[in-house]
Structure 1
Amino acid sequence: MRSELLMIFLFVPLCPTALHALRYFYTASSGVPNFPEFVVVGLVDDVQIVHYDSNTQRLVPKQDWMKEVIADDPHYWEMSSQNAQASQQNFKASIGNLKKRFNQTGGVHTYQRMYSCEWHDDTGEVNGFDRHGYDGEDFIVFDLKTLTWIAPKPQAVITKHNWDRDTVRNERWKNYLTQECIDWLKKYLDYGRSTLLRTELPSVSLLQKTPSSPVTCHASGFYPNNTMLFWRRDGEEVHEDVDHGEILHNHDGTFQKSVDLDVSSVKAEDWGRYSCVFLLSGVKGDIVTKLDPKVIKTNWEKPNDLTIPIVAVVAVIAVLIIITAGIGFAPYKKKQREELKSISPCHFLIFTF
């Protein structure tokens, strides 16, 4: 999946302190033309590290440094590809089961799963989750605190009861999310330090479509995505007449974000009281851009000035809510339970229905 993604000021780069995450997304689909029926994507801090799809039938690294992480196991990629192929068959069967559960026949359907572990490198706090979804809505979710499953849908209640009874599996899954997965996350951060722990500052622009449109403060090219972008008046953050956009991916691995300010009620003489402020985690200082009509890029013609085309903000959100869902959960075989004991960076957990 691809997404599209000057001001001079003094700053002091620090080692970024942030919440880091290792996430895996599984997506199975039926009835979707020209799209693989099964896809696996692994990410560290929103940077893709592995990819698998049913067309290639191979799990492949997406970062050069990933090859170094697994360098001591020459068979890793082959074995992981075989595990992904097994998951592909399991997910395909699960869609059929879920269609029966929801009394569906044909049409387009998706069966999704996302599991993730999170670690804050400042506080040391760890967390994890496992979410299963069907047709874009939560189907069943793992509660890490109680080691039980939450069923938002009536069709998932029987699955919840069956999965709750497998206490051994739930304990081992907790151990994976809070320990083994965290170990791999830290390892990835170490090997991919030059990519994952870098800091990049953005260019910040003020944009406006028409004289009556809101003024958009657009920051693009920053990394990591732990940032704040807001409007300020007389040194105080403005909350009214402000619309915050989402953080989006750029094609080069950096991010972009925008925040709109409705200036329809702002008097011309008061524009100088406003400014857009950008803050980036791990960087001391901020980027401040004054609300000045002279620096606003527009697609309407100003007096005695040429028309300046507005910059198009094109981007796709990386990622999905996520993967698997079930229908009655049969007890795991001993072999499947043993899988949870082994530490694997891409943990292919096979669900049996």
Structure 2
Amino acid sequence: MFIVAFLLLWAPGLTESADTHSLHYIYTAFSKPVGLPGIHEFTAMGLLDNRMIDYFDSEHQAKVPKQEWMRERLPADYWDKGTQSRKSKQQWFKVNIGILMERMRQNDSSNPHVLQWMHGCEAETNPDGTLRFVRGVDMYSYDGDDFLSFDDRSGVWVAPTPEAEATKMKWDNVQVLKEYTKGYLENECIDWLSKFVNYGQQQLKQKSPPDLHVFAKNSRVQTNIVLTCLATGFYPKDVTVTIRRNERVLTADDGLKSSGLLPNDDDTFQRREYVEVLKSDPATYSCEVFHEATGVRISKSWDLSLLPVPDDDGSAVTGLVAALLLVLIGVGVILLVLRKRRNNGKNEQPVCQHRVILSVAMAPRIRPSNKSI
């Protein structure tokens, strides 16, 4: 299961370092327009070590590079073939969302439904510089819930819900599909991962230290303020952010909350920790961030000032929201919106929960049109 904290964006797996790498793609399709800016009916993107390397959406209908080294190293026919592949997958998703809506008796639904596909691989670096397969995933989710996954070790599909049993039985009976899926995860995906790591090695080695911002604003509770520590602009993604009250580190028991790891639009990350405290509290509050990759540690104390901002995120996060919508990693937010819409509908139960698939890894493989849900 994948928890939307945006990660959640980054699916559970290896921590990116000089010795580990991952290749990811995300496919997300809605049954109809959702009416939110920057959110398309179909989106696909590639991620190398959590950095976007290519992108496709149903509006622009073209697979395009998102890194200059991808543009320089891969020929035009790679992008042409990739575009045709994405268009094929877009049709596959459209057909199979219809199948699932019928299976779950949602044909009369006025709300959009969402189908996601995740598949890929993670690897460690051998002493000779080659990559060694560690794990692979091939998973589907529907309306935010896990729907079907491939067990790479046993070579069978796993259905966590009764609605997925029919698909499991159908796909388990296609031996060539199981063999190809396992072979792709353990071999072909690693080959593409190795190639991309070689192409982008200079950028992948780059590290960015964090900036730390400490600010506060009035809470909705008149006697309280919300104190926020925002670490941003760092890469790789492993970072520790803490808030201290008189040198004591605050925890969830003190009401500490976190945004989780979030992406910026420049391939770096940010993380926000915040806590609600009494205005009358005479204690000293401070924030600290430690970025393991660069060894940078920054500490700042709150200067007791309040920012006149309309929301908790502040201006530093405004750009992030737009980026999240563009890359569609904020699907968890969308699902929350959809759930609220469903709650306002007639006799419709909210099927969207807080779990979504948010990471995939894929290079050329069996066309989805060759298998239906």
- Name the CA distance, whole Å, in 2 between partners of 1:122 and 1:205: 39
Q: CA-to-partner distance for each residue in 1:216-269, whole Å, 9 max, x for gaps?
A: 11112112222121234677643231222222222222221111244439952x
- Name the CA distance, whole Å, in 1 between partners of 2:80 and 2:103: 35
What is the Cα deviation at residue 113 of structure 1? 0.9
What is the Cα deviation at residue 102 of structure 1? 1.1
**Root mean square deviation, CA, Å:** 3.2
2:192 to 171, 181, 184: 184
What residue in structure 2 maps to residue 330 of structure 1? Answer: none
- Listed as ranges, the matches of 1:17-56 within 5 Å are 17=18, 19-32=20-33, 36-56=40-60
Q: Does 1:75 align with 2:85?
A: no
**8 Å contact 1:69–1:188 — kept in the other structure?**
no
- Name the CA distance, whole Å, in 2 between partners of 1:18 and 1:292: 38
What is the Cα deviation at residue 66 of structure 1? 0.8
- Name the CA distance, whole Å, in 2 between partners of 1:247 and 1:187: 27
**8 Å contact 1:17–1:281 — kept in the other structure?**
no
Q: TM-score, normalised by structure 2?
A: 0.71
Give the AA of the match of 1:45: D
- Name the CA distance, whole Å, in 1 between partners of 2:136 and 2:357: 14
Q: Does 1:213 align with 2:225?
A: yes
Give the AA of the match of 2:60: T
Task: Report the 3-state secondary structure (helix = DSSP H, G, I; strand = E; otherwise coil) of the residue aligned with 1:152.
Answer: coil
**8 Å contact 2:31–2:98 — kept in the other structure?**
no
CA shift in 2, pair 1:78/1:312, >3 Å: closer
Give the AA of the match of 1:293: D
2:162 to 154, 165, 186: 154
**8 Å contact 2:210–2:296 — kept in the other structure?**
no
- Listed as ranges, the matches of 1:95-114 within 5 Å are 95-106=97-108, 107=110, 108-114=112-118
1:257 to 271, 288, 296: 271
- Name the CA distance, whole Å, in 1 between partners of 2:196 and 2:269: 20
What residue in structure 1 maps to residue 338 of structure 2? Answer: none
Q: CA-to-partner distance for each residue in 1:198-231, whole Å, 9 max, x for gaps?
A: 2112221111103721321111211222212123
CA shift in 2, pair 1:86/1:30, >3 Å: same
Give the AA of the match of 1:230: T
CA shift in 2, pair 1:237/1:189, >3 Å: farther
What is the Cα deviation at residue 75 of structure 1? 2.4
What is the Cα deviation at residue 160 of structure 1? 0.9
What is the Cα deviation at residue 135 of structure 1? 2.3
What residue in structure 2 maps to residue 334 of structure 1? Answer: none
Task: Report the 3-state secondary structure (helix = DSSP H, G, I; strand = E; otherwise coil) of the residue aligned with 2:260.
Answer: coil
What is the Cα deviation at residue 139 of structure 1? 1.5
What is the Cα deviation at residue 157 of structure 1? 0.4
CA shift in 2, pair 1:168/1:199, >3 Å: same
Task: Report the 3-state secondary structure (helix = DSSP H, G, I; strand = E; otherwise coil) of the residue aligned with 2:317.
Answer: coil
Structure 1 residues without counterparts, runs of 5 or longer: 1-14, 301-308, 324-343
Q: Does 1:298 align with 2:307?
A: yes
Moved more, 127-136 or 75-84: 75-84
Task: Report the 3-state secondary structure (helix = DSSP H, G, I; strand = E; otherwise coil) of the residue aligned with 1:293.
Answer: coil
CA shift in 2, pair 1:282/1:33, >3 Å: closer
Q: TM-score, normalised by structure 1?
A: 0.74
What is the Cα deviation at residue 109 of structure 1? 2.3
- Name the CA distance, whole Å, in 2 between partners of 1:175 and 1:228: 37
- Name the CA distance, whole Å, in 1 between partners of 2:243 and 2:117: 37
What residue in structure 1 maps to residue 62 of structure 2? Answer: 58
What residue in structure 1 maps to residue 341 of structure 2? Answer: none
How many correspondences in the alignment? 304
Percent pairwise identity: 33
Moved more, 19-28 or 120-129: 120-129
Q: CA-to-partner distance for each residue in 1:74-95, whole Å, 9 max, x for gaps?
A: 5222222222222222222212
**8 Å contact 1:28–1:111 — kept in the other structure?**
yes
2:259 to 238, 245, 264: 245
